[in-house]
Amino acid sequence: MESKLKIYRMGEVLPKETKDETKEDDAALIEFYSSFKDLFEFFCLNTTIHGTIRLVCSNSNRMKTAFWALLFLSSFAMLYWQFALIFNQYWAYPVVMSMSVHSEPKMFPAITLCNLNPSRISPVNQDIAELDNLARETLYNLYGFHIPKSTPEDVSIDISGENPGQVNSTRFHLDRNIALVKMGGKVGFRLCNTTGGNCYNKVYISGVDAVQEWYRFHYMNIMSQIPSIIKMSQNDDRFKNLIYSCQYDGEPCRTSDHEHFHHPVYGSCFTLNKNGTDKFWKAFKPGIVYGLSLILKVEQKDHIPLLSTTAGVRVMIHRHNQTPFLEHEGFDIRPGTKSTIGIKQDEVSRLGGKYSQCTNNGEDVNIKLLYNGTYTLQACLHSCFQHHMVQKCGCGYYFYPLPPGAEYCNYNKHPAWGHCFYLLYKELTDHQLICFSQCPKLCKETWYKLSAGYANWPSTKSQKWIHRALQTDHRYNITTMKSKDIAKVNIFYEQLDYYSWDESPEYNVTLVMSNMGSQWSLWFGSSVLSVVEMFEFLVDVIILSLIFFYRRLTAKRRHKVSSPPKMPSVSLTLEKYRYIEEGLATDQDAEKSQTSYENPSFVHDEGLPPYSKYNKYQMPELYPPVVLHRFKHQEDQGTHQDHKS
């Protein structure tokens, strides 16, 4: 019969066994195990976990018991090792991408166009001319080549009336010490810090790249006299200087559909359908006929020949209200060609939070954007770099907007800014700055996939009448126009279907529970109730341990209370004992017993001092008679006299 430990409602002392055990069982509130052995045997005999019963049934064979115990523990270890792998994979928060196809009318994207031949700005035209002369001298010294001077027909843009008070009137001095030279088979220029030491050599294998970067560096110092973001008037004449013809879905483009702005690299630029709110740009059908058709003016006059060596138009297709970064994401349209650009749209939706680092609108990003458009990864990276540039170098990079209170770098004011800039930019490209970690992607983003086709346009036979038609419609002088001075572009949706890519958790709670159940069934062949049994077993072990601990603690307390008082110390020195006969000791003991019997008021017990009912206090005997191996304690003479006195 299984032994149980009973806990009763009343009293701490266990009652004595009676003949009626039924009444005793009814008085028990909780029945529990009396030992860990009973607990283990009950668990092994009644659990639904496979293999545990063999631990009890084979207890007569210790070898089998040890084998099944080892097998059970190994399976238990393998199970929780698999559980650890499952939870590690779950806490890694992996995601899967699911694709869905949608088809509906959608807004045409924004289109930004810039001439690859940037025009000269009138306030700094003289400084750029001085830089061109220095470039001619440099190329002659390096390669023995003379560049012809610019012709008077080169066009310069006057912005003084549109941006009053924003042009720096201080005279600029070109630094000829920053020269382009050959360095060990390479070509480059040297930039040093404020003390003239720790110089940085910006070298290139290609002389073409070296000349362009050297010219670009001086150009930035010259252009620092004017703001990088220049407000340009919405003048139709300037629009027609780049775009001869504009049609969308067979209808002429409206004059209010474009925005004119100055780009620090490409100069005069235009953005079509910037806001994306006009229903005019709604696309209901795919195909070239229902798209955007442009005829562009691509003059190959070298406005600034060393700043740009490419002829054509830079085009970028992007989202609405987005700042275009044409130097990173645009593509070029060649003159004398017809370019057909097909668009396919994709949308991606990221989970964010613990699954990925992304932002909805950039408001939760620590970097303060310096651009007026919506949040993009490029805008955040450029803003982050500009903040670091101002903080470390004391001035801002001309091609990026300025934070409040800062000014653009100019080696007349900041002689060592070039050395600081190139080292800082190297840190950015090497991912040593924190910009990439602080600039997340958008959680919801639209992508445009482009497919392009090219053909010569106009053809040799159609060239004359096309030029004549352009002269008649737009009143342009085409006496000097060539076939390579114009280009045609068709931009359209290839299909209105678009793909939506959505992130979803690879592991959710349901899948984790399913995997755990599979592993549990594999190693133990049991179910959820078996897991409950395991928890019950652990709870029983804890409760039984607490009970044993409590019983041991109370037993120690009782033993401490019931322990006899300590006997007075007795000297075992034989000098204090005298030899007596055993009979004499026996007679004395009998006499004391007789005295106690005749005098009931005198109570004497072994180990207790004499007590009288007439005395108020219990008087201890100072020196009780002690007999040890026929020797009786003999009091010292001095002590005996003290007692008598």
Render 326-343 in DSSP notation, one character per residue: HHHH-EEE-TTEEEEEEE
Which of 450, 481, 502 is the endpoint of a domain? 502
Tell me if residue 21 falls in helix, strand or coil.
helix
Q: Using the CB atoms, write b or e for 98-119: b if 16+ within 10 Å.
A: eeeeeeeebbbbbbbbbbbbbb
CA distance linking residue 571 with residue 580, whole number of Å: 18
Instruction: Say how many residues make up the chain.
Output: 645
- Specify burial of residue 587 (Cβ count, 10 A radius: 0-12, 13-18, 19+): exposed
Residue 517 forms part of a structural domain: no
Asked if 317 and 421 sit in the same domain, the reply is yes
- Specify burial of residue 357 (Cβ count, 10 A radius: 0-12, 13-18, 19+): middle
Residue 241 forms part of a structural domain: yes
Q: Are 262 and 269 in contact (CB under 8 A)?
A: yes
Can you say whether residue 455 is alpha, beta or left, with left for phi > 0 and alpha for psi between -120 and 50 degrees? beta
pLDDT in tens, 519-575: 888 887 777 787 788 788 889 889 989 988 888 888 888 877 766 666 555 555 545
Cis peptide, bond prior to residue 227, ω within 30 of zero: no
Asked if 383 and 472 sit in the same domain, the reply is yes
Which of 161, 194, 224 is the endpoint of a domain? 224
Number of other residues whose CB lies within 10 A of the CB of residue 273: 21
Tokens linked to 262 = 């100055």
Residue 220 forms part of a structural domain: yes
Asked if 435 and 498 sit in the same domain, the reply is yes
Asked if 211 and 354 sit in the same domain, the reply is no
Number of other residues whose CB lies within 10 A of the CB of residue 48: 13
Residue 78 forms part of a structural domain: no
Q: Are 246 and 87 in contact (CB under 8 A)?
A: no
Element (H, E) at 238: helix 236-242
CATH number at residue 114: 2.60.470.10
What is the tally of structural domains in the chain?
A: 2
Asked if 273 and 415 sit in the same domain, the reply is yes
Which stretches of the chain score pLDDT less than 50? 1-19, 21-25, 27-28, 152-155, 159-165, 169, 574, 577-586, 593-619, 621-623, 638-645
- Structural domain harbouring 479: 110-123+226-502
Asked if 384 and 306 sit in the same domain, the reply is yes
Which of 463, 392, 459, 457 minimizes the C-alpha distance to 422? 392
- Looking at residue 232, its pLDDT comes to 55
Residue 32 forms part of a structural domain: no
Crossing angle of helices 509-524 and 62-91, rounded to 10°: 170
- Looking at residue 407, its pLDDT comes to 92
Which of 192, 209, 224 is the endpoint of a domain? 224
Asked if 381 and 237 sit in the same domain, the reply is yes
Asked if 196 and 253 sit in the same domain, the reply is no
Asked if 258 and 198 sit in the same domain, the reply is no
- Looking at residue 322, its pLDDT comes to 92
- Looking at residue 4, its pLDDT comes to 47
Residue 36 forms part of a structural domain: no
Q: Using the CB atoms, write b or e for 446-482: b if 16+ within 10 Å.
A: bebeeeeeeeebbeeeebeebbeebeeeeeeebeebe
Asked if 265 and 131 sit in the same domain, the reply is no
Which of 182, 185, 175, 120 minimizes the C-alpha distance to 153? 120
- Looking at residue 614, its pLDDT comes to 42
Asked if 254 and 218 sit in the same domain, the reply is no
Residue 437 forms part of a structural domain: yes
Asked if 436 and 386 sit in the same domain, the reply is yes
CA distance linking residue 200 with residue 206, whole number of Å: 18
